[in-house]
């Protein structure tokens, strides 16, 4: 386990008048994450914007520890975390709504829900129940299902060993898959023993040298239509901050969220080009897609039986989805299909 601290790295902030700096208290924040590079990007941005006054120290922990980050931050053992919130679905399945809900919202739709409707309200309700305040913090986009062999249909899943995460674990069991394991609990070299894995982007697969093993990227994949991480902070710590500091931290997290989305899009596209010919881009077989959607319906149904918060959040999610999906269809999808057809010629 490593501990990294970013204090004033790359700061012009030292130029800020001594009066201004000393007039406000210094705020150290210790956060734990299995994604230290992303968290350190936030630490640098917060440090620059606050002239070093808010100092985030980043402690790296393995992904297998991520389910414990929520309690660690809520109880105050650490000040915060950066993680996929679907690591917390054992605490409340509604966390999947903000991370990756099978058959559900895309990243842009979920951002819209949180920005203009009641997504943030329910995110806050969920957070309050666990003593944290959370924000979206980057998204790697929809993720393909990675396979060693071409997928012929639903029968390909029955005897396959599948590695996934979050709601994917329950979804593939709903689909009758034979062997489903949590990839966050597997060591990196063990990922090669799976027949199918999901929960990793093109660039992550390349970093782990898995693209030579899983040579089929099958998409669209209804199980992970988005992959949003969260920054969470201990609620008492958050409430103890001044409104200016809350605004600064929230804006920095939001700035990083967008920057990470754009960088992930860029990196994945570059990787796809680099491995063109080595990795096959396969269309999801219809019967697997249909089974994924059926599983998504079952999981959403269970959310209504998982307590008032989960039920209310799910109800609000579906209400907004009914509106925003229409816009997605005549806006982004119609343009995307039209451009793809023209450019392919």
Partner 1 sequence: MSSRGKKLNRRQAMVGAGTFGIGASALAAPAVAQSAPTVIRMATSWPQGLGGLADSAQRVADRINTISGGEIAVEVNWAGTLVGALAVHDAAASGEIDMYHSCEYYFQGKHRGMNFFTTVPLGLTGLEQMGWIRHGGGQALWDELNAEFGVKSFAAGSTGVQMGGWFAKEINSVDDLKGLTMRIPGLGGQVLTALGANTVVLPGGGIVEALFDGSIDATEWVGPYNDLHFGFQKLLSSYVYPGFHEPGTMASVGFNKGFWDRLPQEHKSLIEMVCDAELTSHTADYYGNNGIALAQLLNENGVQPTRLPDEVWRQISEVAIDVAASVAEDDAMGRKIYESWAIYRDLMNGSAPVSQSAYLAKRGAEDLFVEV
User: Among residue numbers 5 through 34, which ones bind partner 1 (CB under 8 A)?
Assistant: 11-13, 15-17, 19-20, 23-24
Judged by CB under 8 A, does residue 332 bind partner 1? yes
Taking the complex as a whole, how short is the minimal distance between the CB of residue 13 and partner 1, in angstroms?
5
Judged by CB under 8 A, does residue 108 bind partner 1? yes
Judged by CB under 8 A, does residue 41 bind partner 1? no
Judged by CB under 8 A, which stretch of 79-87, 91-99, 158-166, 263-271 contacts partner 1?
Answer: 263-271
Among 289, 306, 307, 312, binds partner 1 (CB under 8 A): 289
Judged by CB under 8 A, does residue 311 bind partner 1? no
Judged by CB under 8 A, does residue 107 bind partner 1? yes
**In angstroms, rounded to a whole number, what is the distance separating the alpha carbons of residues 85 and 97?**
9
Judged by CB under 8 A, does residue 277 bind partner 1? no
Taking the complex as a whole, how short is the minimal distance between the CB of residue 61 and partner 1, in angstroms?
27
Nearer to partner 1, 188 or 283 (CB): 283
Instruction: Please answer whether residues 94 and 306 qualify as being in contact, where contact means their C-beta atoms are separated by less than 8 angstroms.
Output: yes
Taking the complex as a whole, how short is the minimal distance between the CB of residue 58 and partner 1, in angstroms?
19
Judged by CB under 8 A, does residue 337 bind partner 1? yes
DSSP string for residues in 78-123: SSEEEEEGGGGTTT-GGGGGGT--TT---HHHHHHHHHHSSHHHHH
What are φ and ψ of residue 3, in 5° steps?
-125, 125
Nearer to partner 1, 3 or 340 (CB): 340
What are the distances in angstroms from CA 334 to CA 126, 338, 341? 35, 6, 11
Question: Tokens standing for 106?
Answer: 């895309």
Instruction: Please answer whether residues 117 and 97 qualify as being in contact, where contact means their C-beta atoms are separated by less than 8 angstroms.
Output: no
Taking the complex as a whole, how short is the minimal distance between the CB of residue 12 and partner 1, in angstroms?
2
Judged by CB under 8 A, does residue 329 bind partner 1? yes
Nearer to partner 1, 78 or 151 (CB): 151
Q: Considering just the CA atoms, what is the radius of gyration of the chain in Å?
A: 21
Of all helices (H) and strands (E), which one includes residue 231?
strand 228-234
Place of tokens 């944290």: 132
Taking the complex as a whole, how short is the minimal distance between the CB of residue 316 and partner 1, in angstroms?
13
Taking the complex as a whole, how short is the minimal distance between the CB of residue 187 and partner 1, in angstroms?
26
Return the residues of window 137-196 that contact partner 1 according to CB under 8 A: 141-144
Taking the complex as a whole, how short is the minimal distance between the CB of residue 131 and partner 1, in angstroms?
24
Judged by CB under 8 A, which stretch of 28-36, 70-78, 135-143, 181-189 contacts partner 1?
Answer: 135-143
Taking the complex as a whole, how short is the minimal distance between the CB of residue 197 and partner 1, in angstroms?
15
Nearer to partner 1, 78 or 320 (CB): 320
DSSP label at residue 210: -
For Cα atoms 314, 319, 323, give the angle at the middle one, nearest 5 degrees: 140
Return the residues of window 214-233 that contact partner 1 according to CB under 8 A: 217, 219-222, 225-226
Taking the complex as a whole, how short is the minimal distance between the CB of residue 217 and partner 1, in angstroms?
7
Judged by CB under 8 A, does residue 51 bind partner 1? yes
**In angstroms, rounded to a whole number, what is the distance separating the alpha carbons of residues 184 and 173?**
17
Length of the chain: 345
DSSP label at residue 65: G
Helices (H), the chain: 18-23, 36-49, 69-74, 107-116, 119-129, 155-158, 167-174, 202-207, 235-239, 243-274, 286-303, 308-328, 334-344
């Amino acid at each position: 386990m490593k501990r990294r601290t970013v204090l004033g790295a790359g700061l012009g902030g030292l130029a800020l008048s001594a009066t201004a700096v000393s007039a406000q208290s210094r705020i150290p924040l210790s956060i734990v994450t299995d994604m230290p590079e992303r968290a350190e990007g936030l630490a640098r941005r917060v440090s620059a914007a606050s002239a070093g006054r808010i100092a985030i120290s980043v402690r790296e922990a393995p992904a297998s520890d991520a389910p414990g980050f929520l309690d660690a931050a809520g109880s105050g053992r650490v000040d915060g975390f950066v993680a996929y919130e679907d690591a917390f679905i054992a605490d409340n399945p509604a966390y999947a709504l903000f991370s990756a809900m099978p058959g559900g919202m895309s990243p842009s739709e979920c951002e819209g829900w949180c920005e203009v409707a009641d997504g943030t309200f329910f995110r806050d309700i969920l957070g309050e129940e666990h003593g944290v305040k959370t924000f979206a913090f980057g998204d790697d986009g929809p993720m393909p299902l990675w396979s060693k062999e071409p997928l012929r249909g639903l029968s390909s899943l029955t005897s396959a060993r599948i590695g996934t995460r979050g709601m994917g674990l329950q979804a593939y069991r709903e689909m009758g898959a034979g062997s489903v394991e949590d990839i966050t609990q597997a060591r990196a070299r063990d990922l090669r023993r799976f027949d199918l894995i999901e929960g990793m982007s093109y660039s992550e697969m390349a970093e782990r040298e898995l693209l030579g093993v899983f040579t089929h990227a099958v998409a669209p994949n209804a199980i992970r239509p988005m992959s949003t991480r969260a920054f969470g902070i201990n609620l008492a710590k958050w409430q103890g901050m001044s409104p200016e500091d809350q605004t600064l931290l929230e804006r920095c997290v939001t700035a990083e969220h967008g920057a990470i989305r754009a960088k992930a899009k860029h990196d994945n596209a570059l990787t796809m080009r680099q491995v063109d010919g080595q990795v096959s881009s396969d269309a999801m077989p219809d019967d697997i897609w249909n089974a994924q959607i059926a599983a998504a319906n079952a999981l959403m149904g269970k959310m209504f039986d998982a307590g008032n918060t989960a039920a209310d959040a799910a109800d609000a999610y579906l209400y907004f989805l009914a509106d925003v999906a229409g816009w997605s269809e005549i806006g982004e999808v119609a343009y995307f299909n039209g451009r793809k057809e023209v450019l392919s010629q």
